Structure 1
C-alpha cells in the first residue's frame, strides 16, 4: 500500500489558514443579544462545520451557530444554547457553552492531531463484517482504543448471511477467543434478521456508538433498529473491494428500548500512533497481569530471558494470535506517525 505523503510545515499552515477563512465566511448569521431567548440545555445530535443540530429538552431539533470561543463540538456533547428570535437561512440559534464531557472516544487525525469522535457515551459497538473482509487486527485496534478510554466494548460481526456453514464455524472459532476474554460478541444479519434482539438488549438504556470500517453495514443496522429513519446505504465497491462511505457525519438517534445510538462515519484505517506503547499493552486485557513482571525492565517480549509474557503464552494464559496482533500494532505505530509534533488534544 502506498504511504500517504506527509505535509510540510508550510503546507500544514496553509491548510489551517484556508480552514479559518472558510469558518469566517460561514459566520454570516448573527443575532444581537436582545434577539436571543433565555439559555437552555441541549444535546448535540450532529455537527456540520461551524453549525450543529441541537436537540432541546422537548425533543425539537434546532440548527445553531457556535460561538467562536467555544472550540469544537462532537455528537453527544451536552451544551447551553439560546434560540434566535427568528430563523436566519435555516439557522435557529446559538450554542454558547459546552458542559464537561464524562467520556469521549478519540482517534488520531493525520492533519489535526487527536480528535474526539463522540462524547458522553457508555458503550462502543465495534462493527466488522465478512465483506469487504473480516479482520481480527481491526477489531484489536478498536479494542485498544476503547480500553484506553475506559468504555465498554461490544464486538458485532455483520453480514453473516454471506457465510456458508464451514466459513461461519471458522469465524466463530476466531471470535470465541474474545468471548473467552469476557467480551460481548454478536453475530448479525439485517437480511435474515439475526442477532438484532441480542443487539437491542446490549443497547438498552445506554448511549452507544457504532464504529468500524466503511462498508461493514453500520447504517443498515441502524435502519434495521430504526426503520423509520431510512438512512442511505451503499454496497462494497466491486472495483476496489473497499467499503464506500455512506454516513458523512456522526448522528445520534433515540432507540425504542430507551437507549441512544450514534452512527459514525466509516474509516478505511484506524491507527493508534497517538498512544504510548504502555497504553497499547494495557489495551490487551489478558496482558495486564503480566505487565512489569519480566526480569528486565526494558524487555521487548521477543525471546528475552525471563519474559513473563512469553511464559504466559507458553502456559496458554495468553493467546499467541492476540500477542502477534499486539506486536504488529507496535511495529506500525512509528511508521504511521506523522513527522511532526502532535497536539495532545485538538478537538
Structure 2
C-alpha cells in the first residue's frame, strides 16, 4: 500500500476551490471543452510518465500501477515527465473521458532549458541522474559535453558521461579518445565508452542506471534511442540516422516519456536538442558550472575579475601551471562569450 501524499495547505485550498467551482459552474479544463465531473473519481496519487500537448499519462503509485490519460488544470503552471501529482481518474472506459490532474507536488529536482518564446521551460522532474550522451558520429564535441555539464551542475543533478558508437574507432583512435576524456574523470565525472554494436560499456551503463530516475540528454543522432533499445528492449524507440548532408542527427523522440528499467530504476527520454542553451544563466553560474574552477573563486586580485588576462587572476595562473585543463578553460571562455550573442533581444534590453 503506497503512502498517501501529504498536501500543503495551499494545495488543499486549491483543490477545494476547484471542487467548489465544479459544483457551481460549468467550468472548462485545458482541453477547452466543458468538464463533465460525473466521470471523475476520488483524489489519488500518481506520477506523470508521459506528457503530450495538453494531456498527460499518469501512473498510479499503488501496486497495480494503473495508467490514466488526464487533462491538466488551467491553474497548474507546468506538468512534465517525472512529476508527482494528485489527480482524479476517469471512472468510465469512454475514450472521450479523461482524468484531471489537480496538483503537482513540489519537485525535488528539475531539468529546464531556455526557450526563446516561453522563457525557462522545465523538461523533466524528480531526477536523480543525468546521462550526457555524446558519440563518435556526429563528430565528438567535448564543448557540447561541457555545456551539458554546466546545465547539470546548475540543476544540482549528478551527471554521467556516455560516449556512444565507439565501434567506429580503431584501437589506436579509441586509446586517444580515452586519453582526451581523462580530464573528466580527473575532476570527478564518470565516463563510460559504449557501443550498441559490440555491446561495450552496456553492463556498466546498466549498473549506474539501477534504482535511479535517469534522464538522457544529448544532440540528435548520438544514439540515445539505440541505447534505450539495447538496455530496455521492450521500449521500441524509433532510431534515426545521421544526415549525410548536414552531419547532424535526425530527431526521433517526439514526446517525453518515462520508461521503467527491468533491473530497477527508470529512464526519462525527452526530445533531443542540438545544443543546450545557457544564455539564461549569469556568468557567475557558468563559472560555478566548471567544478575545477571553484576552489580558485574569490581569490583573484580583483572582485570583478573576468578570468582572462586580468592581473592577479588565480584561474588564469592555474591554467598556465597545468592545474586546470586548457581545453576546458577555452570551452569555459567560449560559453561565456556566447551568452550575450545568443541571449534574445528582449532580455538584452
When normalised by structure 2's length, the TM-score is 0.88
3-state secondary structure, aligned to 1:70: coil
Contact 2:30–2:71 at 8 Å: present in 1 too? no
Q: Is 1:70 paired with 2:73?
A: no
Provide the C-alpha distance between the structure 2 equivalents of 1:327 and 1:311, rounded to a whole number of angstroms. 15
**Alignment match, 1:51:** 55
Q: Is 1:177 paired with 2:183?
A: yes
Tell me how far 1:30 sits from its aligned partner: 2.6
Q: Is 1:258 paired with 2:264?
A: yes
3-state secondary structure, aligned to 2:345: coil
The one of 274, 288, 311 equivalent to 2:294 is 288
Q: Aligned pair in 2 of structure 1 residues 143, 315: CA closer, same or farther (>3 Å)? A: same
Contact 2:29–2:74 at 8 Å: present in 1 too? no
The one of 26, 41, 45 equivalent to 1:37 is 41
Tell me how far 1:125 sits from its aligned partner: 0.3
Provide the C-alpha distance between the structure 2 equivalents of 1:263 and 1:180, rounded to a whole number of angstroms. 28
Q: Aligned pair in 2 of structure 1 residues 161, 194: CA closer, same or farther (>3 Å)? A: same
Point out where structure 1 has 5 or more consecutive residues left out of the alignment: 1-22, 343-347
Tell me how far 1:231 sits from its aligned partner: 1.3
**Equivalent residue runs for 1:200-279 within 5 Å:** 200-279=206-285
Tell me how far 1:92 sits from its aligned partner: 3.1
Provide the C-alpha distance between the structure 2 equivalents of 1:219 and 1:204, rounded to a whole number of angstroms. 18
Structure with the larger RCO, 1 or 2 (CA within 8 Å, 6+ apart): 1
3-state secondary structure, aligned to 1:208: strand
Provide the C-alpha distance between the structure 1 equivalents of 2:39 and 2:306, rounded to a whole number of angstroms. 63
Tell me how far 1:296 sits from its aligned partner: 1.0
Contact 2:167–2:197 at 8 Å: present in 1 too? yes
The one of 26, 30, 34 equivalent to 2:31 is 26
Provide the C-alpha distance between the structure 1 equivalents of 2:29 and 2:259, rounded to a whole number of angstroms. 30
Q: Is 1:93 paired with 2:99?
A: yes
Q: Aligned pair in 2 of structure 1 residues 25, 83: CA closer, same or farther (>3 Å)? A: closer
Provide the C-alpha distance between the structure 2 equivalents of 1:328 and 1:300, rounded to a whole number of angstroms. 13
Q: Aligned pair in 2 of structure 1 residues 225, 330: CA closer, same or farther (>3 Å)? A: same
CA-to-aligned-CA distance 1:96-138 (integer Å, 9 cap, x gap): 1110000001111111110111000010000011111210000
Provide the C-alpha distance between the structure 2 equivalents of 1:219 and 1:292, rounded to a whole number of angstroms. 43
Contact 1:62–1:91 at 8 Å: present in 2 too? no
Aligned Cα root-mean-square deviation (Å): 1.6
**Alignment match, 1:16:** none
3-state secondary structure, aligned to 2:267: strand
Q: Is 1:160 paired with 2:166?
A: yes
CA-to-aligned-CA distance 1:130-164 (integer Å, 9 cap, x gap): 11121000000000010011110000000111111
Contact 1:67–1:95 at 8 Å: present in 2 too? yes
**Alignment match, 2:345:** 339
3-state secondary structure, aligned to 2:299: coil
3-state secondary structure, aligned to 2:92: strand
Provide the C-alpha distance between the structure 2 equivalents of 1:73 and 1:217, rounded to a whole number of angstroms. 27
The one of 316, 331, 335 equivalent to 2:322 is 316
CA-to-aligned-CA distance 1:296-324 (integer Å, 9 cap, x gap): 11212222211111111122211111110
- Report how many aligned residue pairs link the two structures: 319
Tell me how far 1:56 sits from its aligned partner: 1.2
3-state secondary structure, aligned to 1:86: coil
